[in-house]
Structure 1
């Protein structure tokens, strides 16, 4: 047995976030409309950044919002930089990575970046 080996004694259930991929600029208009009936969150993630990966893992492990209370989008900003740029322009939010933006009634009501992203804070918007 290695120095860092540990026997698994219990099964840990993985949480599944109901991600909606954000892959088309046209979706932004749909998101504005959706946010008029349900809060919407957009998670902008840089797939090449270690900090972004760590923040995403922490976010996913602490996310507990029921599907019918918040719609959540995932944006791979390296693959869809044009969408990331338009988000900044459309919602008047300076680009950060990673970044979480919350929309209600077509407007950005909150945003956080890097280690300030906390999934438990989303409960304040549902």
Structure 2
């Protein structure tokens, strides 16, 4: 089971990016009114293996309740807004970005393996 951290304000974005310098960060942007978003979230949550992902920090962003935070993520990272959307940050940069049914736990898990430190 994923222990989600909530991303609720634009002011959090800088600290989340900074965190990615010490460990991978997953941001999952979720629309609570969208069945595709619910299915994508469920696919990640069912496969999430805490022992494999123990060094990761996952953030959950409810798009409908936190629109300003969602826009701040897109603007700060230079990534077009999608819903649902999974973004992996590592070493201060986005290294994975997928939306809808392109979101894959296996791709998220391996997103940092080819990053040169």
TM-score > 0.5 by shorter chain: yes
Larger Rg: 1
How far apart in 1 are the matches of 2:108 and 2:35? Answer: 23
2:36 pairs with 1:51? yes
- Cα shift readout 1:9-64 (whole Å, capped 9, x = no counterpart): xxxxxxx1010011122211110110000010100000000111111111110112
Question: How large is the RMSD of aligned CA atoms in angstroms?
Answer: 1.3
TM-score computed with the length of structure 2 as normaliser: 0.89
**1:51 match: secondary structure:** helix
| Paired positions, count | 111
- Does structure 2 retain, via aligned residues, the 8 Å contact 1:101–1:110? yes
Match of 2:72? 86
Which residues of structure 2 form unaligned runs of 5+?
Answer: none
Which residues of structure 1 form unaligned runs of 5+?
Answer: 1-15
TM-score computed with the length of structure 1 as normaliser: 0.83
Q: Which runs of 4+ in 1 moved over 6 A?
A: none
2:89 pairs with 1:99? no
